[in-house]
Amino acid sequence: MKTLLKTPLIRLIFSIAMIAATSVTAQAQSTSTDDSVFQSLGAKAGIDKIVEDFIPIILADQRIKRFFEQTDKKRLAAQLSDQFCELTGGPCQYKGKDMHEVHEGMNISNAHFNALAEDLQIAMEKNNISSSISNKLVAKLAPMQRPIVSK
Ligand code: HEM
């Protein structure tokens, strides 16, 4: 190994490999250990409760209720709960449909998207989640605006 490392090219390749290995490890650690938002939401049981409150708030919201008339609410709740759990660093895996695919053709506007986000904030408030934590969940949903909004 020592004699091999004397060759400049081998030394360079070795250094690059070491840097890559270190950054992969750092990345794996940052994604697998930061479950602080998940814990602050009350872990999976807390998220289930928030989603359970979220659905009737959506269904009472004149701005967006019509979208959900034909929806299987039980399935929606289970999918949302897994999705929020995974997004906030919890030990779940969202196995539902792709966000663009599921909302395609619904003609969802930014105003509809914001209304739904507002309803989620209300559900979290109802469950005594601090605004700094609820803002963090909403921030994690922000990148979905582009694939969901089509109007
Ligand atoms: C960040 C925002 C949103 C997230 C994270 C989200 C997430 C989801 C998820 C996980 C599902 C279930 C997918 C499945 O069944 O596999 C779903 C379905 C659905 N979403 Fe959204 N959604 C968002 C915004 C919206 C908005 C703004 C509307 C309309 C105002 C909407 C209307 C619907 C409807 C109607 C369904 C049910 C479709 C069906 O019956 O198959 N979503 N959404």
Q: Are 57 and 3 within one domain?
A: no
Answer left, alpha or beta for residue 89, where phi above 0 means left and psi between -120 and 50 means alpha. left
**pLDDT tens-digit series, residues 19-49:** 444 444 444 444 456 999 999 999 999 999 9
Name residues contacting ligand 1 (CB within 6 A).
Answer: 64, 67-68, 70-71, 75-76, 79-80, 83, 96-97, 102-103, 108, 112-113, 116, 141, 144, 148
For the whole model, what pTM was predicted? 0.83
60: CATH = 1.10.490.10
Domain that holds residue 16: 1-33
* CA–centroid distance, residue 102 to ligand 1 (Å): 7
**pLDDT tens-digit series, residues 72-126:** 999 999 999 999 999 999 999 999 999 999 999 999 999 999 999 999 999 999 9
Residue type, 45: A
Domains of the chain: total: 2
How far is it, in rounded angstroms, from Cα 93 to Cα 85? 8
Q: Are 2 and 42 within one domain?
A: no
Q: Are 50 and 10 within one domain?
A: no
Q: Are 9 and 60 within one domain?
A: no
